[in-house]
Structure 1
Amino acid sequence: MDHLINKYKRDELTPNELFELKDNLDSMTDEEVGQQLYADWLKTDQDMSFVDENRVAKMKNNIDNAIGRSKKRIRLFPPRWAQIAASILLPISILFAVYNYHENKLIFDKEILFTTDKKERATVTLPDGTAISLNTESTLKYRPQDFNKNKRMINFSGEGHFQVFHNEKVPFLIHTEEMEIKVLGTTFNLSVREKDAVAELVLEEGCVSLSTRKNQEIILYKNQKAVLNRLTGQITVMAEENARNISAWKNGDMIFRNAELSRVLHMIEEYYDVIIKINCEECFSDKFSGTLPLDDLNEVLEILERSYHLITVKENKEIVMTNK
């Protein structure tokens, strides 16, 4: 550590040594850093001709006044030590300011990635104020360098609920594997999972434009749902009266209204990573309406048992439900 500080003061540090010095300082507590600097002050003969003791005292007095301390002069260090501290800390502060600027610029130039795993959800706020809730196993990417200039471009896969900040001059663009979505400012739920046969966008507010690789383009309005068939590349638009129910997962729920039992089971399997088999043919002819939690599989199974008069046998990740 000492040799790195000495080389820094002589401006002889290599880039790797600069990183090593930063890592060493980051690994130390504030008290340890203070002790290290204090020891260096005592044994170093510094040129203090450019450090004015009166100026240091004035700076300390201003700080004391700002935090409400007494104006009584109290010296924490002898004048020599205060001068050495100023001569060392000022260039070190400049060093780390320049270093952090360089480090932040590298981050700014790179692509930023957000991901969620199974049973994990998260909310991301982009630099323009757009809020995106990520459902399980979802990915969002964007480049800060390009974002919010003449367009706001992100790459997305998985499922997310978008509240896009309105800006007519800078459109919000979502790029997925099969389509591109253009938004000015609106609220919607987007599901584009690679393992699903279809991709869906359900619009709660505003309007959006969707275009596919096959050059099909449609405009979607409030309370409408667009379904993209991955196999054919065709988009089907339909009414969705309960648009807000689609994004109930944000609050830890799944809400169904007259849903096919097969779809209900599919969503349960996706969220809980299980396999469900129902030995009841007539059950599949009945629609399901209700709310299922995303954090309690036992409660989900109890609701299904009561709704369809079934009994459940669980073995690891496989669940078998049969008539009573």
Structure 2
Amino acid sequence: MEEFDTNEEFIYSLIIDELDEQISPEKKRLLDNWRTLNPANEDTYHEFVRIQQNIDKLYEMQAYTPEESWDILDKKIDQLGFHKPFISKNLRTWLSVAASILLIFSIGYYFIDHTKYIVVSNAPNAALKTVFLPDGTQLDLNAGASVRYIGRDFNTDRMLELLDGEVFVRVKHDDRYPFVVDLDKLQARDIGTSFNIIKDQRNITLTVEEGKVALKKIADNQSILLTGGTTGRYSSLTGELIVQKNQDVNYKAWADKDFVFVETPLKEVTRQLSKAYHTPISVNGNDLKRKKLTAHLHYQTPDSALNVIAATLQCKLTNSKSGYILSGN
């Protein structure tokens, strides 16, 4: 079994057995070991999970028998000129259901009609972008962020998908219809709250401002409850989901431009301001770089914030085409 990671059919059958809740403890251990070998294996596993979820959605719209689905898949393979390998009965049955998806593809659908998706994006290096969803929920999108949702019936099916980037969410609470953020491998369920989410290729960070958020891993239903002032972190590399007290007082300063610095090195101050205002800010002079700032800055423009810093630290502020420069007098 040491070479099991190279036997794709065997691994796929293990995944399907787990999705069908028919996997033995020994095979579950083999599958878990394979998933932890490298990130690519974990991504493959989650692709199967997503396919299973979409199959469930497909059956809600229209069911196809396994026999019909397998006939469809056979014809598709013949048309494409591919060789049909031997496939075990278990895997064949599962793929036969997935073949229904090919039929949906052929008539222009993709589980849920993508033409119904509304995509909202903010350009890289752009200023904050604020949008309101149909239910009244407010989204602040940082530069480079992108979300999507299905506009039809959103008031009763409040599912928002964060594709990439950072957003701050102020949920319009409704006890009847929970607000859910799809984060690919995680789901965040609102329990009356406002929160900040950062999603990149490997990590997800969710910090609650007020209220509560239930953060759940889709693969194994592991969940944590986040309250105001706490942060949930997920690493796709390790699969670890943890909760901790929020240590970053400026976690949402990119959105509200409200910064609090306490004996903070000027280099760190300018780094945070540069990120929030999307403006290069540099510090000239070793003596100035070693200085620390204690201040509360709440300004919508970098000019105002930097003028306060210059006056506080008794330094010079210059604005050029390449950005701002703080230097000693």
TM-score computed with the length of structure 1 as normaliser: 0.52
Residues 1-324 of structure 1: pairs in structure 2 closer than 5 A: 109-117=115-123, 118-145=125-152, 147-149=154-156, 152-176=159-183, 179-192=186-199, 199-211=204-216, 217-228=223-234, 234-235=240-241, 237-240=243-246, 246-247=251-252, 249-251=254-256, 253-258=257-262, 259=264, 261-270=266-275, 271-280=277-286, 283-284=289-290, 286-295=292-301, 297-324=302-329
The answer to whether the 8 A contact 1:201-1:226 is kept is yes
Superposed displacement of residue 229, structure 1: 5.8
Confirm or deny: 8 A CA contact 2:159 2:182 kept in the other structure. Answer: no
Following superposition, the deviation at residue 163 of structure 1 comes to 1.9
Aligned CA-pair RMSD? 3.9
1:111 to 1:318, Cα distance in 2 relative to 1, 3 A: same
Asked if 1 retains the 8 angstrom alpha-carbon contact of 2:185 and 2:219, the reply is no
- Relative distance call for 1:150 and 1:125 in structure 2 (3 A) is closer
2:173 is paired with a residue whose SS is coil
2:232 partner letter: A
Q: Residue 240 and residue 212 in structure 1: after superposition, are their counterparts in 2 closer, same or farther (change >3 A)?
A: same
Q: Which residue of 1 aligns with 2:94?
A: none
For residues 175 and 254 of structure 1, what CA distance do their matches in structure 2 show?
A: 28
Contact 1:261/1:284, CA 8 A, preserved across alignment: yes
Deviation (angstroms), 1:298: 2.8
- Number of matched residues? 214
1:183: Cα distance to partner?
A: 1.6
Gaps of 5+ in 1: 1-106
What fraction of aligned residue pairs are identical, expressed as a percent?
22
Q: Which has the higher mean CA deviation after the structures are superposed, 147-156 or 303-312?
A: 147-156
Task: Give the structure with higher Rg (CA).
Answer: 1
TM score, norm. by length of structure 2: 0.51
| Whole-Å separation in 2 of the counterparts to 1:212 and 1:320 | 45
Distance 1:263 1:176 in 2: 30
Letter of the aligned partner of 1:165 in structure 2? K
CA distance in 2, matches of 1:286, 1:173: 41
Q: Cα distance, 1:193 vs. partner? A: 5.6
> Which residue of structure 2 lines up, in the alignment, with residue 39 of structure 1?
none
C-alpha distance in 2 between matches for 1:177 and 1:284:
42
